[in-house]
Each structure stands twice: as C-alpha cells, then as structure tokens.
Amino acid sequence: MQTLSQLKSGELAGVQRLKLSEHLTTFPLEILSLADSLEILDLSDNQLSSLPDEFAQLTKLKIFFASNNQFDTLPEVLGQCPELEMVGLKANQIKHVPAQALPQKLRWLILTENQIETLPDALGERPRLQKLALAGNRLTQLPQTLSQLDNLELVRISANQLTECPDQLLGLPKLAWLAFSGNPFSQSDIKNHTVPCVPSSDFTLYQVLGQGASGVISKASWLHAQDRFPEDIAVKVFKGEVTSDGYPEDELQACLKVGHHPNLVQSLAQVNEEGYLALIMNLIPSHYRNLGLPPTFSTCTRDTFPTGFTLSITQIDKIVAQMADVFAHLHANQVCHGDLYAHNTLFDDDANIIFGDFGAATMYHMLNDTQQAQVKQIEYRAFLHFIDDLLSVCAKEDQGSDMFLHLKQMAQQEQPQVSHKAA
C-alpha cells in the first residue's frame, strides 16, 4: 500500500497501480497526475462519499475499487472512463445506481452489501459483463434487459428481496456460477437435522485453518471424550452478517441438505445458539492441498494454477470422475453449489479429492421443474469449465492421448451427461 505523502512528493510518478487507505474524506486530486499510467486504483477503507468530475481524466484506468466507504450513489463519472472494466464498491451505503454510472466496457461489477432497491435497464446493455455481485441489497426485481447479457458467467444475488425467480438469468448461454439463496422466492421452511446439535461449550478452538467470506475454520477438539465423533475436528464459525455469497444460515442448511458423500467435507454436528452458528466437520488430513487458485483480474471468472503446476491425464481423469459424482449427488439433493471450482477442491498425491466451501450454495427444491433443470444446466457449465481448467495444466506428454481427447470433447458438451458413476 502506498501513502498520500508519497503521491504528493511525486515519488509514485508513472505507477500503474495505486492503493490508498488513510481515512480520506475527499478524493486526492494529486491522483490525476498519474493519468498517463494509472490502470488500477483502490481507494477502499476510506470515508469517501463522492468523486470529482476530474476523475474522468483517468483515461487509462481499468479497475476501480472503493469498498468500505460512504457512497450513497454509484458515481456517474465512472461511466465517463473509456477503459474502465472493473468496478467494486462493496459495503457502502449505495441506494442509487444511475445508468450513466455504468462504463461501456464494464466486465466486472461488485456492489455487494449496499442498499440498492432497483437497477437501471442499462445494466443489460453492457455486453462485456462477465461477473455481477449484488448480494446483500434490497432488490425486489432485476431488469428484464439482463437477458441480453450473453457473456455473463458469474452472478451473486443472494440476500435480497426478490419475490420471483429471475428467469431472465436462467437462460443465459454462459452463466456457470449462480447464487440466489436468502430471497423470498427461494425461501425454504426446511430445517435439516441430518446432524445433531451440540453446545459450543463442548469443544475448544485452536489454530485457524482457513477463512473466507462466510466464516473462520479452526482446528478444534472436544473437552470430553466423544463416542460418536472423532477426537480431532474442524469447526467453521459463521460470521453473523451477510457475506458476498449470502446468509450464513442458508449456507449451513444447504450443506446439511446435501448430506454425506465421500468426496465432500463431512458434517458431524452443528451449533445453533443465539449469536453463534457453527458447523463441526471432519478434520481434513494434512496431506491434502489446494487443487487450484482463485481467478485473477485477467481471468475474471476462471481458475488459475501455480506456475509449473501439472497433472497427468490419469490424475485428471480420476479427479473429473469424482467431481462428476459430486455434481450428481448435489443435484440429486436439489442443491446448487454455486462455486464449483478447482480452488474449492483439495486433492492428494493419489488424486483423491475433497470438495467444500458451500458459501454460495442454494437449495432449489422450491422452483418449478423448468427452473430446476436450468439451475442444473448452469452448474453443469461450471463442471465443464472445471474439466477444461484441469486440462490446461495437463502434462505435455499426455496431451495427445485418447483420454485427453475424450475429456476435451466432454468439456465442450452443453447438456448434462453426468450420473453417479459417470466420468
């Protein structure tokens, strides 16, 4: 992170990327001196409520983030930036999204955790849009023009006030990752009791194993010997607020509805106390590691991998077979994972996988048959991308094999072909 004093002294001349977080209440006009080079500007975690008209002078700007500020309107000047592709103003107080505020080249729009009730029809007139995150707002409907967004691949609309299933999204040709829990149209009275409830006083948390948008996972152990549970466990303590994917309670219920599968993180028990929601799970063996890395700015919605990382075609085939079985199991239980990615998958040296992170999961049993089929079709595209991403790191000596060509052909399918034993 850079400083305002560095900027004012001229020390940052020519930088392409600038991040300032210094409790700013007004936009530092000195930023305009970087107009010839600046491509990424991050002003998150300040106290800004507006941008000056001069902001449009940043003609090379491609990415602008201003999360955790005090904007109540998406600034119209953003629409005047000719190269701006990515806009993220998460956790502000935005109520209004003017049509003029949407850049013509918009590819990525993050407006999670605001107070938006309506969106302009112009949002459907941004043909390059690939990623749209609107969870945690007050939307009662979505523009019908969204049906025109043929390049839209990832959508988050959980935790809003949508009263009807947005059919204009379900038929989009490239949509692959969708989360819509926590809306009136997707409300479920089902409370899953597939695992017992236990008090939080029964265990002790130790080191943190990982954390995401919805909670923190820690290693834990029981305070007293348990006959029905393993001694070492992992506990996910959910955050109390809405996340980028929706409400923690919806994640918990979707996870429990899925039930047991050998390639899913196994749920053992739950804690459901006032102010304390947690899921107790099997502790994943330490020899498992992440299969992929999350998307980057350039890949937008597609996974990445460490430099030099490769898999044999035999490993890929085994991983794909297991994920096909997971896919079939999820949808047999009418649950859409919403985040089917390699970076949410763990694997070992024998290509055994464990799939997790149900933050974007949605139960969809309340939808009609046509809508349910469309939701399954959407997630199937994510499964095909999963295959394609793995093939991108296939060992060179295997890339001409029959197995490689078979999986490549499979990745180009459009209709769901998987079953519990498919591969």
Point out the annotated binding site for ATP: 236
Buried residues in 112-138 as b, exposed as e (16+ CB within 10 A): bbbebeebbebbbbbeebbbbbbbbbe
Element (H, E) at 383: helix 369-391
Q: Please work out, in degrees rounded to the nearest 5, the angle formed at the alpha carbon of residue 93 by the alpha carbons of 90 and 95.
A: 105
Give Dmax (Cα) for the chain. Answer: 67
Quote the CA–CA distance of 128 and 336 in Å, as a whole number: 25
**Residue 381, number of CB atoms within 10 A of its CB:** 21
Describe the crossing of helices 313-332 and 369-391 by its angle, rounded to 10 degrees.
Answer: 170
Buried residues in 25-43 as b, exposed as e (16+ CB within 10 A): eebeeebebbeeebbbbbb
**Residue 208, number of CB atoms within 10 A of its CB:** 10
Q: Which amino acid is at 354?
A: I
187, burial (CB in 10 Å: exposed 0-12, middle 13-18, buried 19+): exposed
Per the annotation, binding residues are 236
Please tell me what DSSP assigns to residue 304. Answer: B
Contact 207, 201 (CB under 8 A): no
Q: Please work out, in degrees rounded to the nearest 5, the angle formed at the alpha carbon of residue 213 by the alpha carbons of 209 and 219.
A: 20
Picking from 359, 340, 245, the residue whose alpha carbon sits closest to that of residue 292 is 340
Structure tokens at 127: 């043909």
Contact 204, 223 (CB under 8 A): yes
Chain-centre distance of CA 249, in angstroms? Answer: 17
Return the SS3 of 371. Answer: helix
